[in-house]
Amino acid sequence: MNPPELTLPPERKALSRILRRYVFSLDHKTVGIQYLFLSLFSVCIGMGLSWIMRIHVAWDSARIWGLGHFSSTGAPGGYMTPEYYLSFLTLHGTLMVFFVLTTAPQNAFGSYFLPLQIGAREMAFPVLNLLSFWTTVVALGVLLATLFVGDGPPTSGWTAYPPLSALGGEAGPGLATGQTLWVVAIGIFCVGSMMSAVNFIATFIDSRCEGMSLLRLPLTCWAWFITAILILLSFAVLLAAVILLFLDRTAGTSFFVPGNLLVSGKLEAHGGGSPLLWQHLFWFFGHPEVYIAILPGFGIVSHLLACFSRKPVLGYRLILGCMLAIGFLSFAVWGHHMFVSGMSPFSGFLFSIPTIVISLPSTIIVLLWLGMIWGGKLQFSTPMMFCLGFISTFITGGLSGVLLAHPAIDSYLHATYFVVAHLHMVMGVSALFGIFAATYFWFPKMFGRKLSERMGMLHFGLTFLGVYCIFMPMHVLGMGGSPRRYAMLSDDFLRSTISLHRFITVAALVTGGVQLIFLFNFFWSIFRGEKSGANPWSCTSLEWTASSPPPAFNFAGEMPTVRHGAYEYRDSGNERDFVMQSDAQNVESEE
pLDDT band at 2 (very low <50, low <70, confident <90, very high): low
User: pTM for this one?
Assistant: 0.94
What are the φ and ψ backbone dihedral angles of 27, each rounded to 5 degrees?
-75, 125
Give the Cα separation of 284 and 235 in Å (integer).
9
Domain ranges of the chain: 33-259+268-545
Give the Cα separation of 50 and 158 in Å (integer).
14
The confidence score (pLDDT) of residue 589 equals 45
Whether the pLDDT of residue 271 is over 80: the answer is no
User: What is the arithmetic mean of pLDDT over 47-72?
Assistant: 89
Instruction: Determine contact, residues 189/141, Cβ cutoff 8 Å.
Output: no
The confidence score (pLDDT) of residue 5 equals 53
pLDDT band at 9 (very low <50, low <70, confident <90, very high): confident
The confidence score (pLDDT) of residue 573 equals 61
Residue 249 CB coordination number (10 Å): 21
Sign of CA dihedral 577, 578, 584, 585: positive
pLDDT band at 6 (very low <50, low <70, confident <90, very high): low
Whether the pLDDT of residue 591 is over 50: the answer is no
Question: Under DSSP, is residue 317 helix (H, G, I), strand (E, B) or coil?
Answer: helix
The confidence score (pLDDT) of residue 590 equals 43
pLDDT band at 10 (very low <50, low <70, confident <90, very high): confident
Smallest CA-to-CA distance from 207 within 555, 447, 539, 569 is with 555
Helix (H), strand (E), coil (C) string for 207-237: CCCCCCCHHHCCHHHHHHHHHHHHHHHHHHH
CATH of domain 33-259+268-545: 1.20.210.10
Kindly report, residue by residue over 469-514, the tens digit of the pLDDT. Answer: 999 999 999 999 999 999 988 777 888 899 999 999 999 999 999 9
The confidence score (pLDDT) of residue 3 equals 56
Residue 171 CB coordination number (10 Å): 21
Strands 266-267 and 262-263: antiparallel
Question: Under DSSP, is residue 273 helix (H, G, I), strand (E, B) or coil?
Answer: coil
User: What is the arithmetic mean of pLDDT over 516-545?
Assistant: 95
Beta strands in 119-217 (DSSP E): none
Helix (H), strand (E), coil (C) string for 29-64: HHHHHHHHHHHHHHHHHHHHHHHHHHHHHHCCCCCC
Containing 262, the helix (H) or strand (E) segment is strand 262-263
The single-letter DSSP state of residue 15 is: H
Q: Which of 82-113 are b and which e, b meaning 16 or more Cβ less than 10 Å from the residue's Cβ?
A: bbbbbbbbbbbbbbbbbbbbbbbbbbbbbbbb
The confidence score (pLDDT) of residue 586 equals 62
Give the Cα separation of 514 and 214 in Å (integer).
41
The confidence score (pLDDT) of residue 491 equals 75
Smallest CA-to-CA distance from 153 within 99, 100, 89 is with 89
Whether the pLDDT of residue 48 is over 80: the answer is yes
- Strand pairing partners for 266? 263
User: What is the arithmetic mean of pLDDT over 105-112?
Assistant: 97
Instruction: Determine contact, residues 343/335, Cβ cutoff 8 Å.
Output: yes
Instruction: Determine contact, residues 99/185, Cβ cutoff 8 Å.
Output: no
Query: How many separate helices (H) and strands (E) can be counted in the chain?
Result: 18, 2
Give the CA-trace dihedral at 105, 106, 112, 114, to 10 degrees: 120
pLDDT band at 393 (very low <50, low <70, confident <90, very high): very high
* Alpha-helical segments (H) within 480-497: 492-495
Give the Cα separation of 291 and 325 in Å (integer).
11
User: What is the arithmetic mean of pLDDT over 391-401?
Assistant: 95
Whether the pLDDT of residue 39 is over 60: the answer is yes
pLDDT band at 216 (very low <50, low <70, confident <90, very high): very high
User: What is the arithmetic mean of pLDDT over 165-172?
Assistant: 88
Average pLDDT, the chain: 92
Give the Cα separation of 152 and 70 in Å (integer).
9
The confidence score (pLDDT) of residue 60 equals 87
Question: Under DSSP, is residue 485 helix (H, G, I), strand (E, B) or coil?
Answer: coil
Determine which of 66-80, 286-300, 461-475 has the lowest per-residue pLDDT on average. Answer: 66-80
